[in-house]
Structure 1
Amino acid sequence: MLNKNALRSFQLLDANTYRCTLPKLQLLNFEAAPTLDLRVIPTDKDFTVEMLSCKFEGSELVERQNEHFSALMINHLTWDTVDSNSYLEVDVKLNLSLEIYTLPFTLMPTAAVENPGNLMLQALLDNLVPLLLRQLVQDYEKWISQQLDHSQLSIS
């Protein structure tokens, strides 16, 4: 359920835990590559993707921000069929916290720092969510094709 095609790198840490490095983000003169540790918990009717950690790789200044940054994400997906129509429900909870502690940012109004940060996060989500949905559709179509192939083999 992780879109490996949208990742720069992907590593299995244990049976349900993955380390995923996203493509580099660039804002002003800063460049950072988020690295996420994610746990995937599947069941018959749903699955949950829980972010265990989020760190940024990049310049020394960017990496120092990891000490002042925290993130929590729980992504819960449920699928069901009602009146022969399949649907997927997605519930994402994302909380981010970044302490503003360096000059010149401490001299600026909070909104002057928050607004560009919010725009950057929105741009990231705007890019990642369509990739996830595209991958879900491709995986579903592949699964349907496999089911049809399997049922045709059973009939023969």
Structure 2
Amino acid sequence: MEMILWILALLALVLGISRWRRAEPEVQAPPSALTATPAEPRRVPRDRLEAAAQSVAGGNPFRLDRVPAPLGFNQPGAGMMPGMPGMMPPPYEPPPPPRPQLFVSGIIGPPWQAMLEGVPGREGAVVVKRGDVLGDLRIREITQTVVVVASPDTTWRLPVRRPWQ
């Protein structure tokens, strides 16, 4: 009896393996993208390319209506503005000089005086009092915590600079 059971077990194993092999689909790997060669580009006759180039160049491709601009552009003459016959360009105005980076490193007093850094034409800190004029800068007011400095186009309210600022 034991022998029949071993034969049945072996037969079940063989049948299982054979069904499992038949149930597995055979899949073929796709060709590698590196080994595949690209399709040869389509050849266009030279005369058709030249005709297309003439069409593009003559049709103003960057204008919506594809026609030349109604206002032509002239070659600029000596001192004339391009495209504007008879008009002189506006005179060149240089940009204003950069504003100074002013810092107050300390205030002492009364009477209040301040140590001002970043003054144009001066190295290091300059001791100033109310009413002093340093080039275009005028010291308008000095209080215990703030120095007010005025220039022709700007007014600064400068607090005392802390070590971490």
**TM-score, scaled to structure 1:** 0.22
Taking structure 2 as the reference length, the TM-score comes to 0.21
Larger relative contact order (Cα-Cα within 8 Å, sequence gap ≥ 6): 1
Which structure is higher in helix share?
Answer: 1
User: Which structure dedicates a bigger proportion of its chain to strand?
Assistant: 1
